[in-house]
Amino acid sequence: MQTEKLSRLIKEQARQRGFSLVGITAPDPPEHFGIFEGWLAQGRHGEMGYLETAPARLRRSDPRQILPECRSILVLGIRYPSPGAAQNVAPAQGRPVGKVASYAWNDDYHDVLPERLKAIVAFIEAQVGEPVPNRWYTDTGPILERDLAQRAGLGWIGKNTCLIQPEKGSYFLLAEILLGIDLEPDTPFQADRCGSCTRCLEACPTGCILPDRTLDARRCISYLTIELKGAIPAQLRPQMQDWVFGCDVCQQVCPWNLRFASPEGDAAFAPRREVPVPDLMRELPLSPQEFNRKFKGSPVKRAKRRGYLRNVAVALGNSGDARAVPALVQALEDVEPLVRGHAAWALGQIGGPVARKTLEQVYRSESDPDVLEEIQAALEALK
């Protein structure tokens, strides 16, 4: 089959599988690899040590280190809902609620997309009549996805570090299939359409977006609520606002999303009830069984119960709502020290006689040194 015809058929198949962004590029070393290496050297990846291992860095430097037979790369993007799609799933008004990044409102894309990628590979092999060397990823492998996407003509890397497609915005999940066959490459997307706009930099609550189109993960709310496994730095907690898993702020303010992106996404990512804007006072007492049941198949499970409830406690503290005090007092008895410590911080933010008295009592019975330090700091804040 002619390369041009095969490329067209593969793109049509990918669109039928729900991928609205489809492009092809050659397996050349990524243009932005030097930027990535500099980012690592500055420690801006935080505790994500898996990014800096020697094997991972070697593979990111050249796709052929992943698949030596690679001759083409199919790059794909699938739409997930923007925050506007959650307008009708808010809980009863009047109680403090949190926010979950919109890609995580339903099924985990790590579970959804592999079957679609496998189906595309099967289609390709049926077209060529023989097995094709391949390797596919969706945010799971040592590959610079946005670099490949820009080279495949899908969009440009914006100042907020997201891939932006000028007609559809940036609410996309990316995936790639490395293939041992020749396909017709697309023209790279050369234009930078961010212009002089700096809305994302100005809106970022923690100021983590840097002028060189990278970000300091150590300050990013998505990193703090998902990747960071220990205590959230106290100086960053107030800036996290009400986000309990991920963050959409830099996308919400982007003109390309405001003007062109529709709120709907693939049906697999349509919002589950009570996930996009959780009732924080109901979330904090979740038992391990309740947490697992509620977030079965959800990206939120990546934070694990202790990380998620840590985030919920911070959001409650930021709410300043005195009605949250009983739930936070109860959380001081949680089995996880991480939850107890952040609940103590939250009580210090809300204040009041009940918060103070409880913290004083718990300080005398708590044995974990980190939690004791959090209680002491909370009491100092209440003076």
The catalytic residue positions are 139
Q: How many CA atoms lie within 13 A of 322 on its CB side?
A: 6
Q: CA-CA distance, 13 to 339, in Å (whole number)?
A: 47
Instruction: Say what angle helices 353-365 and 369-381 make with each other, to 10 degrees.
Output: 150
Q: Is the dihedral of CA 331, 335, 339, 345 positive or negative?
A: positive
Residue in the structure block whose two tokens are 């990111």: 60
**CB atoms near residue 86 (< 10 Å):** 19
Specify whether the CB–CB gap between 248 and 102 falls below 8 A.
Answer: yes
Residue 90 is given by DSSP the state: -
Q: What are phi and psi of 294, to 5 degrees?
A: -65, -40
Q: How far apart are CA 37 and CA 42, in angstroms?
A: 9
CA distance 9 to 124: 9
CB 96 within 8 A of CB 314: no
Q: CA 243, CA 201: separation in Å to the nearest integer?
A: 18
One-letter amino acid identity for 44?
Answer: R
Q: What is the CA radius of gyration of the chain?
A: 23
Distance CA 333, CA 18 (A): 46
Question: Beta strand pairing status for 72-79 and 99-100?
Answer: unpaired
The strand ranges marked E within 4-106 are 21-25, 72-79, 99-100
- Quote helix, strand, coil % in the chain, to nearest 5: 50, 10, 40
Tokens of 273: 């009830």
